[in-house]
């Protein structure tokens, strides 16, 4: 088994795509650091060579001051350029990572989404990638800038006084040890904080979706208490992390900096008693020494962001490492299938050892309507999930026109399928988009025709903007029956060979059901239609009815034959008729 590359290497791989931009930014940064660090040396030269008592050399002083101001302006321009390059590169890196994540999520098996709260998935795409952005934009820029400044400062210190500069070399190892301790203990709390943020997002998402249920059953207080537990746990760990940060960042750096500065002053004071020490050298050394601690403090300030980014990156790469199936392009010249669906001794389980389908066998031919009925949990929806390729059977085979669907690309499999769910989903956009889904082969006339066939054109044309009427998320401004009719029109507009209706008439009124029944008689002509139905009155005309019980086909036949049999179907039908 191949070992996965480390998180650091994978982040570097994303950055190397833009290596030339980053190298260019670093070269500009070197120029900026050099220009900034030249300032104290120029000041030292002015003090020692041109401000000595008894010597009046204002012209050279003015030239050096002009050079100093010019270098400051040059450094400012360079800092802007390198900052822009690094920041824009970081944004591009995260854009690529977010697209890779979104692209891969569409390839992952539905089993992952069955067991993962939606809020956690959203948190990975939105929050965790944003945290990684902070790594590239803040920490990377700060770390690179700080390291370049430290190198330049130490070079300048060795030029001024190599004995004391050598003494100052003990500072980096000390701060590396402090940073290591900081990272070790801080990571524990940051990991918990990110986990709680993900849990909170999942709970918020769930609460918003089911808010009517929460209010109807007076669960507001309990929901708030559950959220408070998560929120408080995150707060407690955040406080602990801030304690570590407060102890190990500016506090300890400032203390060490004060001690080292005191040693330098003592050194120069002692030297001044033994020999003549240039005041300019003394000033420059103190100036450079004071600049050592600013880059170190900058790195400390960004350590928390870096740790948060690495924890988030681990979660992002965990999703990217999940096995997925490539979304393949479908050849437009592929022949339209006849739509002959066959299940041959199919067994299936969501969890190993817990079969929800057992030895299912049936055939639906072109132009036939096959209805699946049975109590909740009998396996009706599982059959549809297998046919659509969302899952693969544990045993047996499913074929369309004699071809095993497991050997077909999912896109080719679903191209000629249309599906209408019990709870239809409408996307944010106008009505015509919700029917065509921007499919180039579906014209506006075809959209209107599909809506007319299902009986939806009447209420749509009465809307203020007609077919351009905007639909809010999930279509909450429309009635359930209106959403269902638009969902039907969407399936019909794609002109499928196989039409799947998953309890599509369960949540609509009798009048709308009548419209749909009339439309179905027209659109099902020449198509294979599979219907999951709870309202048995809607499937009386089905060519074949399969009665499922605990994952097995208990009865099969048309309506008249099953009524004559007097079994499960007859009892269910009589119960619904009262």
Q: Is 550 helix (H, G, I), strand (E, B) or coil?
A: coil
Q: Is residue 446 part of a domain?
A: no
The CA angle 96-136-308, to the nearest 5 degrees, is 100
Task: Report whether pLDDT(275) > 70.
Answer: no
Neighbours of 480 (CB within 10 A): 16
The DSSP annotation for 491-520 comes to HHHT--SEEEEESTTTTS-HHHHHHHHHHH
Please, is 522 exposed, middle or buried when counting C-beta atoms within 10 Å of its C-beta (0-12, 13-18, 19+)?
A: exposed
Q: Kindly state the tokens that stand for 424.
A: 């239809």
Q: Tell whether 346 and 226 lie within a shared domain.
A: no
Higher pLDDT residue, 6 or 569?
A: 569
Q: Are residues 161 and 258 in the same domain?
A: yes
CATH of the domain at 558: 3.40.50.300
Give the end of a domain, one of 260, 286, 320: 320
Q: Which residue has the higher pLDDT, 289 or 465?
A: 465
Are 301 and 343 part of one and the same domain?
no
**Do both 140 and 192 map to the same domain?**
yes
Q: Which residues of 241-257 are buried (b: 16+ CB within 10 A; e: fewer)?
A: beebbeebbbebbeebb
Residue 552 confidence (pLDDT): 92
Let me know if residue 53 belongs to a domain: yes
Residues 157 and 47 in one domain: yes
Query: What are all long-range contacts of 262-268, with beta carbons under 8 Å and residues at least 24 apart?
Result: 263/167, 264/164, 264/289, 267/164
Q: What is residue 328's predicted lDDT score, i.e. its pLDDT?
A: 57
315 and 364 fall within a common domain: no
Residue 398 CB partners (closer than 8 Å, separation 6+): 341, 342, 343, 344, 346, 386, 387, 404, 405, 406
Same domain, 286 and 344: no
| pLDDT mean across residues, the chain | 81
Phi and psi torsions of 535, nearest 5°: -80, 100
pLDDT of 1: 43
Q: Nearest to residue 214, comparing CAs of 222, 205, 225?
A: 222
Q: Is 513 inside a domain boundary?
A: no
- Residue 44: other Cβ atoms inside 10 A: 22
Residues 128 and 274 in one domain: yes
In a domain, 510, yes or no: no
Half-sphere exposure at residue 476, Cβ-oriented, CA atoms within 13 angstroms: 5
Residues 161 and 282 in one domain: yes
Higher pLDDT, 44 or 355: 355
- Listed residues 267, 292, 320: the one ending a domain: 320
3-state helix, strand, coil in the chain (%, to 5): 65, 10, 20
Of the candidates 502, 513, 348, 485, the one whose C-alpha atom is nearest the C-alpha of residue 420 is 502
Q: What are phi and psi of 468, to 5 degrees?
A: -95, 5
Residue 185 predicted with pLDDT over 90: no
State the pLDDT confidence band at 562, using cuts at 50, 70 and 90: very high
Which range marks the domain in which residue 119 is found?
Answer: 7-320
pLDDT in tens, 484-517: 888 888 888 888 889 888 876 655 666 666 766 7
**CB within 8 A of 369, min separation 6: which ones?**
524, 529, 530, 531, 539, 541, 542, 543, 544
The CATH number of the domain holding residue 117 is 1.20.1560.10
Of the candidates 342, 396, 373, the one whose C-alpha atom is nearest the C-alpha of residue 531 is: 373
Distance CA 527, CA 364 (A): 10
Q: Taking the alpha carbons of 324, 327, 328, 330 in that order, is the dihedral positive or negative? A: positive
The answer to whether residue 545 sits within a structural domain is yes
The band of 545, judged by pLDDT with boundaries at 50, 70 and 90, is very high
- pLDDT value at position 546? 94
Q: Copy the structure tokens of residue 249.
A: 């960042």
Flag whether the pTM goes above 0.75. no
What's the rounded Cα separation, in Å, for the pair 20 and 167?
37
Residues paired with residue 470 on neighbouring β-strands, in sequence order? 430
Q: Give the end of a domain, one of 320, 350, 370.
A: 320
Counting residues of the chain whose pLDDT is more than 70, the rounded percentage is 89
Q: What is the DSSP string of 443-509?
A: -HHHHHHHHHHTT-HHHHHTSTTGGG-EE-GGGTTS-HHHHHHHHHHHHHHT--SEEEEESTTTTS-
Residue 437's Cβ-side half-sphere holds a number of Cα atoms within 13 Å equal to 12
Mean pLDDT in residue range 120-126: 79
Give me 248's structure tokens: 């190990």
The tally of domains found in the chain comes to 2
Residues 87 and 191 grouped into a single domain: yes
Quote the Cα angle for 96-102-105, to 5°.
Answer: 140
Nearest alpha-carbon partner for 182 in 250, 255, 249, 251: 249
Q: Would you state the pLDDT for residue 556?
A: 93
Note whether 41 and 147 are same-domain residues.
Answer: yes
Helix (H, G, I), strand (E, B) or coil at 350: strand
Domain presence at residue 110: yes
Tell whether 205 and 154 lie within a shared domain: yes
Indicate whether 469 belongs to any domain.
no
Contact 451, 435 (CB under 8 A): yes
Distance CA 430, CA 439 (A): 14
Q: Which two tokens stand for residue 322?
A: 């999940």
Of the candidates 402, 267, 319, the one whose C-alpha atom is nearest the C-alpha of residue 97 is 319
- At residue 495, the pLDDT reads 83
Strands, sheet with 544-549, edge to edge from the N-terminal-most edge strand: 417-420, 498-502, 528-532, 369-374, 544-549, 552-557
d(CA 71, CA 39): 8
Query: Which pLDDT value is given to residue 491?
Result: 83
Residue predicted with more confidence, 450 or 117: 450
Contact between 246 and 239 under an 8 Å Cβ cutoff? The reply is no
Residue 28 inside a domain? The answer is yes
Contacts of 117 (CB under 8 A, 6+ apart): 202, 205, 206
């Amino acid at each position: 088994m191949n070992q996965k590359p480390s998180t650091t290497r994978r982040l570097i791989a994303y950055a190397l795509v833009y290596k030339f931009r980053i190298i260019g930014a670093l070269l500009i940064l070197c120029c900026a650091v050099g220009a900034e660090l030249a300032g104290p040396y120029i000041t030292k030269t002015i003090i020692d060579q041109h401000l000595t008592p008894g010597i009046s050399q204002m012209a050279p002083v003015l030239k050096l001051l002009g050079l100093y101001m010019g270098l400051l302006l040059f450094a400012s321009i360079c800092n802007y350029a390198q900052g822009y390059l690094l920041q824009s590169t970081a944004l591009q890196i995260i854009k690529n990572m977010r697209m890779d994540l979104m692209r891969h999520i569409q390839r992952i098996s539905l089993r992952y989404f069955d067991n993962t709260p939606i809020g956690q998935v959203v948190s990975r795409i939105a929050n965790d990638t944003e945290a990684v952005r902070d790594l590239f934009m803040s920490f990377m820029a700060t770390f690179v800038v700080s390291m370049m400044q430290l190198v330049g400062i130490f070079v300048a210190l060795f030029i001024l006084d190599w004995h004391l500069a050598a003494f100052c070399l003990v500072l980096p190892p000390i701060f590396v040890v402090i940073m290591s301790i900081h990272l070790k203990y801080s990571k524990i709390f940051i990991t918990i904080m990110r986990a709680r943020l993900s849990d909170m997002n999942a709970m918020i998402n769930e609460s918003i979706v089911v808010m009517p249920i929460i209010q109807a059953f007076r669960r507001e207080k309990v929901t708030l208490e559950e959220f408070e537990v998560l929120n408080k746990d995150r707060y407690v760990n955040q406080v602990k992390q801030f304690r570590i940060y407060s102890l190990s960042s500016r506090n300890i750096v400032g203390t060490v900096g004060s001690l080292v500065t005191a040693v330098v002053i003592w050194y120069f004071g002692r030297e001044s008693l033994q020999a003549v020490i240039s005041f300019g050298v003394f000033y420059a050394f103190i100036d450079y020494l004071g600049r050592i601690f600013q880059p170190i403090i900058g790195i400390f300030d960004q350590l928390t962001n870096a740790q948060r980014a690495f924890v988030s990156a681990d979660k992002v790469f965990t999703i990217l490492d999940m096995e997925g199936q490539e979304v393949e392009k479908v050849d437009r010249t592929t022949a339209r299938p006849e739509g002959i669906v066959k299940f041959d001794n199919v067994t299936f389980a969501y969890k190993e050892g817990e079969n929800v389908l057992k030895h299912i066998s049936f055939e639906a031919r072109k132009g036939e309507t096959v209805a699946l009925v049975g109590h909740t949990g009998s396996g009706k929806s599982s059959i549809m999930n297998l046919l659509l390729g969302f899952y693969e059977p544990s045993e047996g085979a499913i074929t369309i026109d004699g071809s095993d669907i497991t050997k077909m690309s999912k896109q080719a499999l679903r191209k000629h399928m249309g599906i209408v769910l019990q709870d239809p989903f409408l996307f944010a956009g106008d009505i015509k988009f919700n029917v065509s889904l921007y499919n180039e082969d579906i014209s506006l006339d075809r959209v209107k025709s599909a809506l007319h066939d299902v009986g939806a054109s009447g209420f749509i044309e009465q809307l203020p903007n007609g077919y351009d009427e905007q639909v809010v998320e999930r279509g909450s401004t429309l009635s359930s029956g209106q959403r269902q009719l638009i969902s039907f029109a969407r399936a019909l507009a794609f002109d499928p060979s196989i039409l799947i209706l998953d309890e599509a008439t369960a949540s609509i009124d009798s009048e709308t059901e009548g419209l749909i029944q009339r439309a179905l008689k027209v659109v099902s002509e020449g198509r294979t239609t599979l219907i999951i139905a709870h309202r048995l009155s809607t499937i009386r005309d089905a060519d074949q009815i399969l009665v499922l019980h605990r994952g097995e086909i208990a009865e099969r036949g048309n309506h008249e034959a099953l009524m004559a049999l007097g079994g499960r179907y007859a009892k269910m039908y009589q119960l619904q008729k009262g």
